[in-house]
Each structure stands twice: as structure tokens, then as C-alpha cells.
Structure 1
């Protein structure tokens, strides 16, 4: 009885428990951004041919936005993984990557989770979202090394690629915060959780 009462009163317990609205918002973000990222995916091919392997990475941070937005709004473990996996499933019939696209989407979600997990899901400031995006995209690019042979590129190209990747991730984190705040201010989620003051500034 006392344990149940303590759990009910615990802010941590409430923050970690998903409800129907959390699921709906996460799904909505995943579905909406699936179509945005489809356009980015097809735009990447001519962009890569034009800019080369290093500067074309400027799009990397865009793929992290659904995960970072979901984490910022839901503030619960697994939000990024859920949003990006849902997006990957929606993209499946249209994506040039087939089923592997779902795996990459889920991996992107896990990459977004890493910095927030390290902070125990307690930090959601603009600077932390930018850091989170930078870390996520950096992890993503480093994991590509054995798959795509990035190590064979000239050292200068590799350094530039990693720098552009980090910058793109930071911009993705900033855009995630701005888009989420714009949604809240526009009243799209007027009845949703907005007690963010305790964590936004940390």
C-alpha cells in the first residue's frame, strides 16, 4: 500500500510511464516526418554527386529531428526510438532502401537516445538538444565506417565529413527545439504537458 502510494507520488515514476497521448504524439511526429525525410532522401542523391561525400552530410541532422522532437516533448526513454521506427515503417513502401531502411531508422532512434540516457533523461535545454543531435549524428557516421569504407577516404575528407556531420546534428537539435516550441505556442498541443521549466535550463 505504502509502496503504491510512493510510486504514484513520485515525479520520476510519472515521467517514465507512457500514456495514450504520449503514444499518439510520438506516432504523429513519426508519420509526418516520414514524408519530409522521404523528400530529403531522394534529394540526397543529386546532392551527394554535387557536393561530395563530406559536404553532403549536411542533411544528416534532419534525420534526427523526429527523435529529438519526441524526446523533448515526451521526455521518456524510448521516445526517439519509437518515433523514428514508426517513420521507417511508413517510409517502407516508398524508400529506395527497402527493409534495411527500418533498421537504419531504428538505429537513428537509438543514437538519439544515447546522450539523453547519459543525462538520465533530465536535460532538455536548447544547448543540450544541439549537443544530443551532434552526438547522434557523429555516432551514426562512425558506425558507417566499416559498412561504407569511409576509412579509405583522404584524411582531410574524413575530418571535413565528421565536422559537417556534427554541425548538421547540432542544427537538427536546434530545429527540433524550435519546431516543438512553435507547435506548443500555436496551440496544437494546448492541453499537453508544459511543465518544462525544471529541465529546459539544465
Structure 2
């Protein structure tokens, strides 16, 4: 059964997607600079930042689709702002969002604990890595290097996206700015959350 979305949930998701679309583009430049020094593995350390909006939106809104939709919108915003990858990046955002969405779907969209948020970051890592492996030419690297890349991406997804996403949302929740959203109702013990 599909959950009904409220207008304010759609607006909040769109707002976060735009903000993080900008952040994502900025971090691409950070990754490019760092990659100039240590090679393609540089991006793996910061990949979690590119998954964070899906976890933030799902943690707040708690409705099927929040992770995949927000991540896809953020990727589209990044393309509109001039990411050189172009429209293919939107597919990348969709795949990253599906990875996070899979973790929440596995719990029936009922558990939003830190381990589940970290698992969502890992899901984004695995889905995006498989996509990157197919399109990014990772097969030219030594298998040990590829495994190292994967391990770093998984850690980044779990820590930056999972733990970092929880930290951001919990900070917003403490200010009272998320009153009326499912996360606030869950904290109060409301069964509608």
C-alpha cells in the first residue's frame, strides 16, 4: 500500500535535494583535486556524501520512495548545475537511491535506527559500486585495488551517509524544525509515524 505524501513532505524533500545537489557538485571538485594526488581511490573516501540526501529524507519522511526520489532529484540538480558527466549522472543517482531504498524496504519501512541508516549507506555503496564497475572500467585495476576501493566506499557510505545523515537530522529535530513530520511523531511515540 502506498503511503500518502503531504505537500510539506514533498517540499522538504525537494529542498534537501536541491541543497545536496549543490553540495554534491562541490564535492566532485574536492574529489578531482584529491584524485590528482592519489588517483581514483580518492573519490571512495568521500562517496558517502553523495548518498546522504537519500538517508536524510527517508529518516525524516519515512515513506516508500523517499530515498530513491530525493537522490534522483539531487543528481538531476547536479546535472543542471553543470556536472560534466551529464544526464548519465541522473541514472547514477537513481541507482544510489535504490541501494538506500532497499535497506529501508528490507525493514518494511518500520525501522530507522542507526544500524539501518548505516545499512542504507552500505546499500548505496554496493549498488553504485556495481554500476561504477560496469561503466567505470574498474576491471583494469588489480583485484586487490578494486576490493580496497569497495571497502573504502562501504565505510564511507556507512559513516558519512548513515552516521552523518542521522547526525544532521537529529540536529534539526532538536531545533524543533521537524515538528509535524513522521520523525517527530516517532520520537513522541505516535503510532502514525
Q: Give your verdict on TM over 0.5.
A: yes
> Take 1:89 and 1:54, find their aligned partners in 2: how far apart are those partners?
25
SS of residue in 1 equivalent to 2:139: helix
- 1:129-154 CA deviation, whole Å, 9 max, x = no partner? 01210121122112221212212211
1:27 is displaced (CA, Å) by 0.7
Q: 1:82-161 maps to which residues of 2 (within 5 A)? A: 82-91=69-78, 92-161=80-149
8 Å CA contact 1:81–1:106 kept in 2: the answer is yes
TM-score (norm 1): 0.84
8 Å CA contact 2:96–2:127 kept in 1: the answer is no
8 Å CA contact 1:55–1:164 kept in 2: the answer is no
Stretches of structure 1 that go unaligned for 5 or more consecutive residues are: 1-12
Stretches of structure 2 that go unaligned for 5 or more consecutive residues are: none
Q: Quick one: which of 162, 172, 176 aligns to 1:173?
A: 162
Q: Corresponding residue for 2:29?
A: 42
Q: Corresponding residue for 2:11?
A: 24
Q: Corresponding residue for 1:195?
A: 185
Greater C-alpha Rg: 1
SS of residue in 1 equivalent to 2:40: helix
> Take 2:180 and 2:136, find their aligned partners in 1: how far apart are those partners?
46
Aligned residues: 186
